[in-house]
Amino acid sequence: MGGTERMNHEKTHENELVCSGHYACQGCGAVIAMRHALAALGPRTIVVLPACCWSVIAGPYPYSALRVPVFHTAFETGGSTASGVRAALEMQGKSDINVLAWAGDGGTFDIGLQSLSGAVERNEDIIYTCYDNEAYMNTGIQQSSATPARAWTTTSPEAHPKDTQKKNIVQILAGHKIPYVATTSIGFPDDLIAKFEKAKSIRGTKFLHVLAPCPSGWKYSSQLSVRLARLATHCKVFPIYEVFDGETYVINVEPEGRPVKEYLSLQGRFSHLTPRQIDEIQARVDYDWEHLLHKAMLEKFEFE
């Protein structure tokens, strides 16, 4: 394990490709994530945006908050559209342009999973990023399969909270045995930038799962976005790690082991929880962390 918590300001501002004056909410984690990602990838990048918050944030044609080409596409087509853009570039002999599919959790965990799985199964040379704010935030905070158990949303209100666990999208993508799968977070910008730089250097499909807190959907003050993202990792709710070829797990940030209550108590979406329910969430988080540790200790499988 290794800590990567210090922000690399110089690298971020050298390659600023997100303009001010965009349409995001104050404190939006998805914008912070995009800034760092494009700082790492550089101007020779095409961004594919299926329906998500970023479809709004980027702005309508002919205006755009991004200083790179943008392809807006349908909700379920992030993987297939990015595949098509890559194929077109190859036909033109342009191999030095990054193709970045940038989708929310609804467009990845749910509606776009089929086209993502198809692209991944073909090992398309794309970088697929899911910025995860754990609900359909741009259409009214409806529950997605990335929503944690017991969280408030407009379709899982306090009286009828979500009764299933968050889908493990990393495990699904790692199961496709693609070259690179990683989690990262706006709470650890150096780690985020380093992983996009690594993804840029790898041939084949790269999948990055980025935790992007949402002030309006999670119900917290906008200045807490980065703090919450860091707490998610230090409370073991969102571990930071990589999976190579679906086999080798590497944990990148060692959690401080803080109680999960510290993370939950800052968010209005969990304000209805009873002490017993918080204990249940803590038990689940501890179990999942031990499971991840076990995977990280396994030796890489080698063919004879």
**The predicted structure's pLDDT at residue 62:** 85
**The predicted structure's pLDDT at residue 61:** 81
**The predicted structure's pLDDT at residue 1:** 42
**The predicted structure's pLDDT at residue 5:** 42
* Mean pLDDT per 10-residue section of the chain, whose length is 304 residues: 43 75 95 97 97 94 92 97 98 97 98 98 98 96 97 95 95 97 98 98 98 98 98 98 97 97 98 97 98 89 63
Give one DSSP letter per residue of the chain, joined into a string: -----S--HHHHHHT--B-SS-SPPTT-HHHHHHHHHHHHH-SSEEEEEESSHHHHHT-STT--SBSS-EEEE-TT-HHHHHHHHHHHHHHTT--S-EEEEEEEHIIIIITTHHHHHHHHHTT-S-EEEEEE-SSBGGGT-B--TTSPTT--BTTB-TTS---SPPP-HHHHHHTTT-SEEEEEETT-HHHHHHHHHHHHHSSS-EEEEEE---HHHHT--GGGHHHHHHHHHHTTSS--EEEETTTEEEE-S------HHHHHTT-GGGTT--HHHHHHHHHHHHHHHHHHHHHHHSPPP---
Q: What domains are defined for the chain?
A: 9-297 (3.40.50.970)
